[in-house]
Homo-oligomer: A and B are copies of this chain.
Amino acid sequence: MTDLTDLYPADRIVLREVGLRDGLQMVRQFPSTHQKQRWIELARDAGVRNFEVGSYLPAQRYPQFADIEDIVSAGMDKPGIRLSTLVLNKRGAMRALEGGAHEIMFVVSASEAHNLANANRSRSDTLREIEEAIALRKDMVDAPVAAVAIAMSFGCSIAGKSAVEPKDVLDIAGRALEAGAQVINIADTVGYGGPTEVRTIVRQFRSAFRDVPLAFHFHDTRGVGLANAAAALEEGVTILDASIGGLGGCPFAPGATGNIVFEDLVFLAHTMGLDTGIDPTRLMDVRQLIDVAMPNEQTYGQFRRAGLPKA
């Protein structure tokens, strides 16, 4: 069984590069299998260790993820990286368990409306499927860590901002933990939240669930993504998602845009004296690969142009 503390060491900040998953969800262009492998290698060479590399979705409809089995099996042979894959349903879960990554990220939405749009079933049905899939892990030799992401945790672009309260997120988190989740990933899928709300959720989560590993997934839809990340870091959160170049968006979340920008997040963490193990200037090699692989896709971020401050 993959060791949880190996995946998320308690003594350091873990920045998860989710560009190969969330970053490719809505794109028209996407990297080749070889380019994806180079993406991972170049990011690893810059110090990135944790990657979310795709979703188990039907290849006809999501050709960008058709090579996920190849990406995982090639990646598992490389030293110094930890791989996660995302699943939205039972069929995906079966494939993911076969696939052999270090972690499976299950998804349930804080909003019933978004869960129906995203997974075509109720939150309760999704949680039951997650429980069944996690139970299947028990007999595996190299069982992946089971993480559950809670989408739309700061409001829902289908049901509305006020349709989701922190107590809804905590309720879903509690049910996910009962289903066997080892990690909870709280996602602001559409960039509705602000730093005060982030602090509230972290504190309520800690109060309810103590030391359960807690990750956040922010989108920069309204410009405050890094302010939210800073608030999470200040609250002691050590696991954050981001994508190089700020790629990203959810096809079933109206108004969703890119993830927070990985390289800008690295700069932010370093200004706060936090060690990420990542050299943001070397991440520019991945930016160049993205430019080549996806020349017409919109990317984001300020660090790329400015670079490090003068020493």
Identify the A interface with B (CB < 8 A).
155-162, 190-197, 220-224, 226-227, 229-231, 234, 255, 257, 261, 264-265, 267-268, 270-273, 301-303, 305-307, 309-311
Contacts and interface: CB of A to CB of B under 8 A. Distances in A.
Contact of A306 (B221, B310, B311): B221
A302 B161 contact: no
Nearest to A256: B306
B272 A306 contact: no
Given A223-B267, A227-B230, A302-B222, A194 B272 contact: yes
Sorted from nearest, which 5 A-B pairs have the closest CB atoms?
A: A194-B271, A223-B264, A223-B302, A227-B230, A161-B309
Given A160-B309, A196-B272, A227-B230, 20 more contacts: A155-B310, A157-B309, A159-B310, A194-B267, A194-B271, A194-B272, A195-B234, A195-B272, A196-B273, A220-B302, A222-B267, A222-B306, A223-B226, A223-B265, A223-B301, A223-B303, A224-B264, A224-B267, A224-B268, A257-B305
A155 B311 CA distance: 9
Contacts of A193: 271
Q: How many copies does the complex hold?
A: 2
Contacts of A190: 309
Most buried by B among A156, A234, A267, A306: A306
Contact of A302 (B257, B267, B305, B306): B257
Nearest to A264: B223
Contact of A230 (B195, B264, B302): B195
Contacts of A265: 223
A264 B224 CA distance: 7
B227 A229 contact: yes
Contacts of A310: 155-161, 255
Nearest to A234: B195
Contact of A224 (B156, B158, B197, B271): B271
